[in-house]
């Protein structure tokens, strides 16, 4: 059934979040901080590994060379400018604040951070895009099924430390993958191998930035870089 992959992904995120919320109540603040650092390290190295796998190429003589640097720079710089103009980060924060209010979570100081960080972690990446396209055009939800397992585990860990705001990232993944699902016929011609490689490359860098934010390093307004994904795809698909 077309769309079942998106539905399962949303349910997996929500269930993972609820499980993490239940576990978090039995974990002391000291352990929560340790788990948070562990999650940050995992996210950082996921992003770093994904970016380096696309950036570094080993030649026949064993030498290393960098590829896609111009694409990366233009995508990130152009995406950041567009994102700042559209003020995406503040809009996501405002939406998170609204969810915090209507869900009765006004006492949860980490709600908005949890919502934004969790949403970006599970939405930025090629699996969400390709999975939604395959779900629509090929009636093949296998990629989204695999992503659902990964997302459920990640959200469970994040919710145990950042609280219930992470659970509401299920809304974000539903909107994002649902939108890709609906316009799959339009975007599919642009999803060339080069475009997918660029999407994974730039998406991995954004995931790396999410990890640094979880580590409470100097804050990166990652949501304002989201247009960089579109530029990266167009760069490789045109």
* pLDDT tens digit sequence for 35-71: 778 888 888 888 888 888 888 887 777 777 888 889 9
Q: Which two tokens stand for residue 26?
A: 């039995």
Residue 189 DSSP code:
G
Coil/strand/helix, residue 87: coil
Residue predicted with more confidence, 150 or 216? 150
pLDDT of residue 73: 93
Q: How confident is the model at residue 79 (pLDDT cuts 50, 70, 90)?
A: very high
Nearest C-alpha neighbor of 76 from the set 51, 103, 104, 98: 51
Rounded to an integer, what distance in angstroms lies between the CA atom of residue 94 and that of residue 159?
20
E strands along the chain, which residues? 56-58, 64-66
pTM of the entire structure?
0.84
Rounded-to-integer distance, Cα 203 and Cα 144, Å: 17
pLDDT confidence bin for 85, thresholds 50/70/90: very high
Q: How confident is the model at residue 23 (pLDDT cuts 50, 70, 90)?
A: confident
- Does 17 score more than 90 pLDDT? yes
- Return the top range by mean pLDDT from 34-43, 58-67, 81-90, 128-137: 81-90
d(C-alpha 184, C-alpha 147), whole Å: 18
Measured in residues, the chain has a length of 238
Average pLDDT, the chain: 88
pLDDT at 64: 77
Nearest-CA neighbor of 111 among 44, 159, 153? Answer: 159
| CA–CA distance, 25 with 37 (Å, rounded to integer) | 18
Degrees to nearest 5, angle at CA 130 with 183 and 211: 115
Tokens of 132: 């939604």
What pLDDT does 238 receive?
65
- For residue 34, how many C-alpha atoms fall within 13 Å in the half-sphere facing its CB? 5
Question: What ranges do the domains of the chain cover?
Answer: 4-237
Task: Please give the biggest Cα pair distance in the chain.
Answer: 61
């Amino acid at each position: 059934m077309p769309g079942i992959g998106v539905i399962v992904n949303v349910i997996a995120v929500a269930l993972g979040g609820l499980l993490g919320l239940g576990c978090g109540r039995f974990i002391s603040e000291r352990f929560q901080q340790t788990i948070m650092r562990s999650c940050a390290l995992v996210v950082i190295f996921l992003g770093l590994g994904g970016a380096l796998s696309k950036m570094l190429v080993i030649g026949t003589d064993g030498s290393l060379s960098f590829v896609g640097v111009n694409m990366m720079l233009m995508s990130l710089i152009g995406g950041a400018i567009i994102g700042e103009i559209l003020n995406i980060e503040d809009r996501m924060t405002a939406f998170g604040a609204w969810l915090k209010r209507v869900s009765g979570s006004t006492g949860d100081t980490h709600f908005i951070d949890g919502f934004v960080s969790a949403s970006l972690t599970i939405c930025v990446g090629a699996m969400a895009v390709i999975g939604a396209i395959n779900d629509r055009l090929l009636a093949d939800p296998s990629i989204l099924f695999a992503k659902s397992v990964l997302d459920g585990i990640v959200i469970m860990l994040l919710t145990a430390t950042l609280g219930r705001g992470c659970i509401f990232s299920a809304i974000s993944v539903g909107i994002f993958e649902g939108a890709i699902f609906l316009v799959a016929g339009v975007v599919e011609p642009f999803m060339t191998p080069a475009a997918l490689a660029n999407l994974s490359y730039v998406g991995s860098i954004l995931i790396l930035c999410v990890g640094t934010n979880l580590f409470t390093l100097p804050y990166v307004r990652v949501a304002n870089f989201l247009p960089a994904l579109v530029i990266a795809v167009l760069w490789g698909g045109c």
